[in-house]
Amino acid sequence: MDESWVNYAERIGADLHLELSGPGGRRAALIRSLREAVRGGRLAPGTRLPPYRSLAADLGVARNTVADAYAELVAEGWFTARQGSGTRVAMGVPPTPLRQWGRAEPLRHAARVPRKAPPRARGPRHDLRQGTPDASSFPRAAWLASYRRALQQAPNEVFGPGDPAGRVELREALTEYLARARGVRTEPGRIVICSGFAHALRLLFGQDGSRDGGGDGVLRGPLAVEAYGLGFHRELLAAAGVRTVPLPLDEHGARIERLGGERVVLLTPAHQFPTGGPLDPARRAAVVDWARARGGVIVEDDYDGEFRYDRKPVGAVQGLDPERVIFVGSVSKSLSPAVRLGWMVLPERYVDDVLAAKGEREAWASVLDQLSLADFISRGSYDRHVRRMRQRYRSRRDRLAAALAAHAPHVEVTGVAAGLHAVLRLPPGTERSTVKAATWQGVALDGLAEFRHPDTDMAARDGLVVGYATPSEHAYGAALEALCGVLPPGE
């Protein structure tokens, strides 16, 4: 046999000793054995796994059994898979020290990181910050299939100057999907593709400030916003010269009756961020009536619109009056923030102005990504992915609630009927010390005060905003244990 082939086979780990035993069939046994090989250090971080065909032949199992096992371990965060690079052990999975397997002292050479590997910045051990989905759950195979189809079927014009409105294929797919899933009433000509919600804000409110606080965008301030929201968005608006006026919140959502002289209001009616809960139906009708009476407009951030667990879907406010609502959505939570695609569903009178703003100063979203997303939606892959992740995130939410009930029953959990995070109510005066203690213990999370508008007269609340989507499946249990360990004790 050729020596170069032998060396290549050794580099990719073609000879991999695995014992398939125990309950659950061959697939479950293979997954269990691969996990143990990683834990024990026999498969070090970065090790390339054998191809499906060769491992299946070695073990005497079906090729699909190996493929399914690899896919499951990729989803759990144990392995990574990349086109052209094969399947490898994830870099962030540490082996179990050998002394825990019955040795008095670990071998010095076990699970050694190659010297050529550069040092990596150490982040938190447990990331429970809100705002990002489980990166290990990205639907790589389905997305790659859509991307290949989009690339193969793309007309030549795709590779020339694009349309600032976005590819018509994506706008048509969104028209159908948003009508069916979110109750949005629109047509392709009223949709403008952007790269996310922040990009939409820049297009709507401009980049350059003005002394009267109005901005120079399509819309002018002052802008009414919810008393709790993302500080990043407030900073972006302030940089554009737009003054924001906070609306108090209660258990029914934003206090619409507190709207004053503003003519634009920004709301998260599907799931108020970060406190949770949908906007009450009566207040939905009231804010539309307010916009009609004042000639105003509602900017609807469809935050967490797809992820609901204990209630029926809440339709978009836009469906009540398409000429008074700008509906903004993206795939940053439902799919991945790495796919820089979002959309604005606009009243007809704003379409030309938004396109002019985009054409003059804004980068356009990747046309190939737009075509891929259009295919992904049209073939039902997006619906299947959202349903799968809805089940996974609901399970994580339930695990969070169960852990708190067992270890911190005095902590109230709210805002969990939908979304990717929960709010943990804390005793007054304990939020800052709890966040600090969490940081010391390597737990990254957000205090509720971080999201409070500085000008609101609404009473401050102590709490934590805990994201349960970010950790991989195998790391989630340890993250919950660490969280419960830093919570203040009950009285």
**Domain boundary residue among 57, 86, 121?**
121
Distance CA 315, CA 305 (A): 8
d(CA 395, CA 46): 30
Same domain, 270 and 326: yes
Interatomic CA distance for residues 320 and 328, integer angstroms: 15
Tokens in use for 331?
């795939």
Q: How far is it, in rounded angstroms, from Cα 255 to Cα 458?
A: 11
Low-confidence ranges of the chain (pLDDT < 70): 1-15, 83-84, 92-123, 207-216, 311, 360-364, 490-491
How far apart are alpha carbons 354 and 335 in whole angstroms? 25
Q: What is the SS3 assignment for 87?
A: strand
Q: Are residues 393 and 293 in the same domain?
A: no
Q: Which domain holds residue 393?
A: 383-486
Same domain membership, residue 277 and residue 414: no
Please indicate, yes or no, whether residues 278 and 339 belong to a single structural domain of this protein: yes
Tell me the CA distances in angstroms from 38 to 94, 96, 144, 173, 188, one per residue in order. 8, 8, 27, 42, 49
CA–CA dist 455, 23 (Å, integer): 60
State the total domains in the chain.
3
CATH number where 53 lies: 1.10.10.10
Beta bridge partners of 465: 423, 446
Asked if residue 340 and residue 435 are part of one domain, the reply reads no
Q: Examine the domain organization and report whether 270 and 407 are in the same domain.
A: no
User: 131 lies in a domain?
Assistant: no
Q: How much is the pTM?
A: 0.73
pLDDT at 117: 42
Same domain as 407, residue 356: no
Choose one of 326, 361, 381: the last residue of a domain: 381
Please report the pLDDT score of residue 94 as a whole number: 61
According to DSSP, the residues that pair with 413 across neighbouring strands are 424
pLDDT tens-digit map of 388-428 = 999 999 999 999 999 999 999 999 999 888 889 999 999 99
Q: Report the pLDDT value the prediction gives residue 361, as an integer from 0 to 100.
A: 52
Q: Say if residue 372 is in the same domain as residue 395.
A: no
Give the type of residue at 41.
G
N-to-C CA span, the chain: 73
Asked if residue 229 and residue 114 are part of one domain, the reply reads no
What does DSSP say about strands 421-425 and 463-467: parallel, antiparallel, or unpaired? antiparallel
Question: For position 432, which CATH number holds?
Answer: 3.90.1150.10
Residues 466 and 401 in one domain: yes
Q: How far apart are CA 271 and CA 308, in angstroms?
A: 9
Residue 76: name the closest of 122, 139, 132, 134 by CA.
134
Handedness of CA 214, 219, 221, 227 (dihedral sign): negative
Would you say residue 71 lies in a domain?
A: yes
Distances (CA, A) of 432 to 69, 127, 255, 487: 43, 18, 28, 11
Question: What are the backbone dihedrals phi and psi of residue 365, each rounded to the nearest 5 degrees, phi first?
Answer: -70, 150
Give the domain-ending residue among 60, 92, 121. 121
pLDDT at position 112, please?
Answer: 37
Output the pLDDT for position 435.
92
For residues 65 and 21, give the distance between their C-alpha atoms in angstroms, rounded to a whole number: 15
Q: Please check whether residues 170 and 94 belong to one and the same domain.
A: no
